[in-house]
Structure 1
Amino acid sequence: MPQHTPDHPTRQILTLDTGVDAVEPGPDQRWSTWPSIAKGQRGPHPHPDWVVTAAAALDTELGVLKTGKEADVFLVERAVPDDPDRAVLLAAKRYRDTDHRQFHRAGTYTEGRRERRSRDQRATQDRHSAWGRSVRATQWADAEFATLCALWEAGAPVPYPVQIDGTELLLEFVGHVDDAGAAVAAPRLAQTRPDTDLLADWFEQVRSAMGVLARLGWAHGDLSPYNVLADGERLVVIDLPQVVDLVANPFGAELLHRDCRNMGAWFAARGLEVDVDALFAEVFAQAW
């Protein structure tokens, strides 16, 4: 059978003049973690051309992109010193431990999931053990990385998952570098004001993305205009740790319908007529 190639645009390698010319890590730097992680912790093959895999690369933290209930996202440049052709911007999503997270309704989303080891499953139910805290701290990161890998391979509009290392995900940076050399993150859909033609095209992209999720048996579970980025005319779906199993989770259909309502309301408020129930029926049918 011919190999399926996800329909993703080619990403341009982005570079910033960060003064990375030392042979040892400086402030806010570390050696690239790519060589030290297992193959299973790296993104799907084939890796995009812009992924920097050199052991000589340095990771330089450039600032905070956004904060969230369960994780914070930082801008990181991975670059080989003195080699501008091997440098790329990444989004480093770092999950907080359970004592510092603000998201407290995890059970609604994880209903029906099973940890790979029974010991881990028991540990997540123990709020006081050190092992339980450790498992819960990595559970969401592991879930999002696995989901992103599957969605990328299915051709969904998601950031390419470069790697996972503990509670840190390194993801494709969705945005661009402006003429002044500054990194500009793509805005959230909620921040945009598209014209009529682009609005209709974006709705089709959202409907298509929800369909890809459903064909894999999933709903986003928390889809809203705040979890979709507008990278020019292309939409990119983000924040997927709480992806819902439409079959095993008894709340699956309800959460999918909420996703449809959230997105339908945003498009309707901007003049596009959306039948939320028809959207739900169309997407839900693709899960079976």
Structure 2
Amino acid sequence: MREHDLPAPQRRGRGKSRFDDDETPFLTYGRQPARTAPEDEPDPEPEDHWSSWDQAVHGPEPHPRWLVTELAARDTDLGVLKTGKEADVHLVRRAVPDTDRSCLLAVKRYRDAQHRLFHRDAGYLEGRRVRRSRENRAMAGRTAFGRQMIAGQWAAAEFAALSRLWEIGAESGRIAVPYPVQLLGTELMLEFVGDPDEGTAAPRLAQVRPDPAELRSLWEQLVDALVVLARAGYAHGDLSPYNLLVHAGRLVMIDLPQVVDVVANPQGPEFLARDVRVVATWFTARGMPAADTDPAALTGLLLREAGVR
């Protein structure tokens, strides 16, 4: 039989060919459904989940009366308050359904070292050690595990410092920091400092324009706070007008993950001197007499309070 005597192949319609079986799984994994136009998309609902209070390390006792600790509470993420070099801060409402029990919290979620914008952390980490040599090696080598360990250290260091300073402030009134509500892994929950009805955070010192009397009051509060820090053996490590809040006339210190042990860290006095220089420069530029804000004099006082001199 010659080739042209073979029956012509049957023509198939325009549907699937006989080779068009269902696509293999690896071709369909991760494929997203067609998206509607942005204007047609509904606004996303706030994330809502059960309170993590029972899983976390808690702040100092007695807990403030405003704090919701009931396990029946739900945490609703209301959005990002601010982004920073090492973490993002979200506004979260913790509330017990069908009751009037609720509070606003600032939730700080630390990134690992690969996703942070702040990478010069070696100087701050001096004097901080963990007991297991494997973990120390991982942090020194910046392995994936080590980066996660460092992120956990930032969160734990801030929680510990805030807990101690909040207790001192509650007793003496000489320093104000947000109440550290809880610590869970690399997530730190804090008292929200601002207007709870509007959900508006207190302004940073850099944003306020105080009159001369207010300026002096804020400076005196700052000196008191720095003395408290020094007596506790700390330097803030990254102090500036951007991590000091002003709420109802009170200066509130925030952002202490890089808190430095002035004695154990060889660079501690240098970090302390830099903190003083930065804030003193701001106050002098706003009208405080230079004699009152002399960085060298204040640094010397703080080093003596810390027992370094």
User: Normalising to structure 1: TM-score of the pair?
Assistant: 0.86
Amino acid at match of 1:202: L
247, 261, 266: which one pairs with 2:282? 266
Aligned residue identity for 2:120: R
Q: 1:161 to 1:223 in 2, by over 3 A?
A: same
Larger radius of gyration: 2
Counterpart of 1:32, as a letter, is S
Shift of 1:234: 0.4
1:161 — aligned with what?
180
For 1:271, the aligned partner's letter is: G
* Fraction of identical pairs, as percent: 59
Of 253, 257, 282, the residue aligned with 2:301 is 282
C-alpha distance after superposition, 1:146-186 (max 9, x if no partner): 11111111213110000011111000000013xxx421100
Aligned equivalents of 1:267 and 1:137: distance in 2?
33
How many residue pairs match? The answer is: 255
Q: How does 1:1-288 map to 2 (within 5 A)?
A: 27-37=46-56, 41-84=57-100, 86-128=101-143, 130-155=144-169, 156-177=175-196, 181-273=197-289, 274-288=293-307
Q: Report the secondary structure of 1:154's partner residue.
A: helix
Give structure 2 stretches of 5+ with no counterpart.
1-44, 170-174
Does the Cα contact within 8 Å between 2:113 and 2:119 map onto a contact in 1? no
- Local SS of the residue matching 1:77: strand
**Higher relative contact order (CA closer than 8 Å, sequence separation 6+):** 1
Amino acid at match of 1:107: A
State the distance in 2 between where 1:235 and 1:77 align.
24
For residue 138 of structure 1, what is the amino acid of its counterpart? G
Q: CA deviation at 1:27?
A: 4.5
Question: Partner of 1:286: helix, strand, or coil?
Answer: helix
Quote how far apart the aligned CAs of 1:278 are. Answer: 1.1
State how far apart, in whole Å, the 1-side matches of 2:115 and 2:201 are.
Answer: 26
Over the residues paired in the alignment, what is the CA RMSD in angstroms? 1.3
Quote the Cα distance in structure 2 between the aligned partners of 1:122 and 1:31. Answer: 36
CA distance in 1, matches of 2:55, 2:276: 41
